[in-house]
Every structure is written in structure tokens, then in C-alpha cells.
Amino acid sequence: MEFSINGRTFDTATSTTAAISRGMKSAGESYDGYELRWEDVLYRTAEGAFFVHEHHTNKSARGGKPIITDETSELTPEQAIQWIRDRGAVVIDAEGLHLPDDC
């Protein structure tokens, strides 16, 4: 997928997966009757820039079509490290990141 962020083009197909955060919260976990599933992926471009693609699916316990959102944002290496920490993401490829021991 290609994304335009601040006038720059980022492509998941030509970028390296750096880290992944996946999960699910059921309708019974205070989500107003919705089940939330997410897969958020941190990518690194060949030039060393980082961006995150956040894909979320909200599905009502009462039926109907799910609501799908896709958002992207560019991150500095420091923001990428904080993103990994905040989400407890699994690091796939740490190149370009100076990860502290607690990541």
C-alpha cells in the first residue's frame, strides 16, 4: 500500500517491517458493544525513514458492517522506539533503531 504523508510517498511493499503490534478487545471490555481488532505495523524505508500503518476494525456485537480505519504517520527513530514501548510491539528488524534494553 502506498501512503502520502506530508507530501512524501511511503510504500509498505518496498519498506521493511520493523515491528508489529496486534490485538483484540472484545465487546465486553468497555468498548460500547464493539469488538476492536488491530494490526499496527512500523516500517522502515530503504532511506531509513520510519512510518506506521495502523489498521483497526470495529465490529458491533449487534451485527452490521464492520468499521475499518487505516491511518499512517511518519515517525522519527526516537518516536519509533517510544511507539514500540507504548504498544509492547514485537521487534522484527531493529536496524536504524538504537533500542534500549527495556524494548
More confident residue, 33 or 27: 33
Integer Cα distance of 19 and 94 in angstroms:
8
- Reported as a single tens digit per residue, the pLDDT across 72-98 is 999 999 999 999 999 999 999 989 888
**Structure pTM?**
0.84
pLDDT of residue 30: 54
A 10 A CB-CB count for 82 gives 13
Is the Cβ–Cβ distance between 2 and 15 less than 8 Å?
no
| Burial state string for 17-55 with b = 16 or more CB within 10 A and e = fewer than 16 | ebbebeeeeebeeeeeebbbbbebbbbbbeeebbbbbbb
Integer Cα distance of 25 and 99 in angstroms:
28
pLDDT of residue 27: 62
